[in-house]
Amino acid sequence: MNVDQNAPVGIFDSGFGGLTVARAVVDQLPGEDIIYLGDTARAPYGPRPIAEVRHYALTCLDALVGMGVKALVIACNTASAAVLADARERYDVPVIEVVLPAARRATRVSRTGRVGVLCTQATATSKAYDDAMAAAVGVEVTTAVCPRFVDFVEAGITGGPELSAAAEEYLAPIKASGADTVILGCTHYPLLSGVISYHLGDEVTLVSSADECANATYAMLASHGLLRAGAHGNRRFLTTGSPEKFAMIGARLLGEFVTSVEACGKMSLEQVKVEM
């Protein structure tokens, strides 16, 4: 594998959630250039069938590879669940995803072995988290699908009575299970950790798939000799939707982190040849 150490890191999500990963990556690796691609025109992925998510995710990942990235970060649990089995074989660059690092952390930090997973419908259907924790002795997994959480985040809403009512409803089975550790199994959810933690209680440890993925990104680049030193990397944000809207909601959610948003047309993505 001949990968340029100075090339950017490609980070992909269906929309805004992966920005939580991108920010964690930039915090840990400020010298890296990043290209972030949010497939906002086709978000949310969560309610879609896995095969469709897989097709969309591969077109986006192929596009990032076509831009010459040195590593791919799949900053989306739903997409990770859909392409986990073969993304590593498909690309010559290292691929980091969100599910395994978060599952590993949760099984380590849980004292009782009762782990909750909050995720999209597609991630729950894929059973990616159950599979990732299946080998851990004495771990019991309870999954709660939180369909409207992504819509709230995509609309820039991270608090208020409507969100609180949804959280109360979605988190009820997790509370009933007595989980002491809960995985935020969708990269949109760290933006809702205030409301989630409020409803679960602060004795419950939240594991952010975003933070764990950023740690895994560091480890992957370091082990491949691909870390780039330098003070301040360049950041590009691409969206398949409206760049203006992306910049506005991105700024609402993450302040000045989101700069220079460019259009990456859905059409041009569809022209990328995808061999399934």
**C-alpha 143 chain-centroid distance:** 17
Strands 114-119 and 261-263, by their bridges, are unpaired
DSSP state of 6: T
Among 23, 55, 188, 199, binds ligand DGL (CB under 6 A): 188
Provide the minimum distance between the beta carbon of 189 and ligand DGL in the complex, in angstroms, as a whole number.
Answer: 8
Tell me the Ramachandran region of residue 250: left when phi exceeds 0, alpha when psi lies from -120 to 50, beta otherwise: alpha
Per annotation, catalytic residue among 60, 119, 146, 186: 186
Identify whether 213 is a catalytic site residue. no
Active-site annotation holds for 186: yes
- 187 lies in the binding site for ligand DGL (CB under 6 A): yes
Site string for ligand DGL, 192-231 (x = CB under 6 A): ----------------------------------------
Q: Which of 77, 126, 205, 217 binds ligand DGL (CB under 6 A)?
A: 77
220 phi, psi to nearest 5 deg = -65, -45
We find the least distance from the C-beta atom of residue 153 to ligand DGL, in angstroms, to be: 8
- Neighbouring-strand partners of residue 9: 34, 71
Q: Are 153 and 178 in contact (CB under 8 A)?
A: no
Smaller CB distance to ligand DGL: residue 7 or 166?
Answer: 166
Q: Is 43 in the site for ligand DGL (CB under 6 A)?
A: yes
**Choice between 91 and 149, CB closer to ligand DGL:** 149
Query: What are the strands of the beta sheet with 71-74, ordered from one edge?
Result: 95-97, 71-74, 9-13, 34-38, 235-239, 261-263
Residues annotated as catalytic (active site), given as ranges: 76, 186
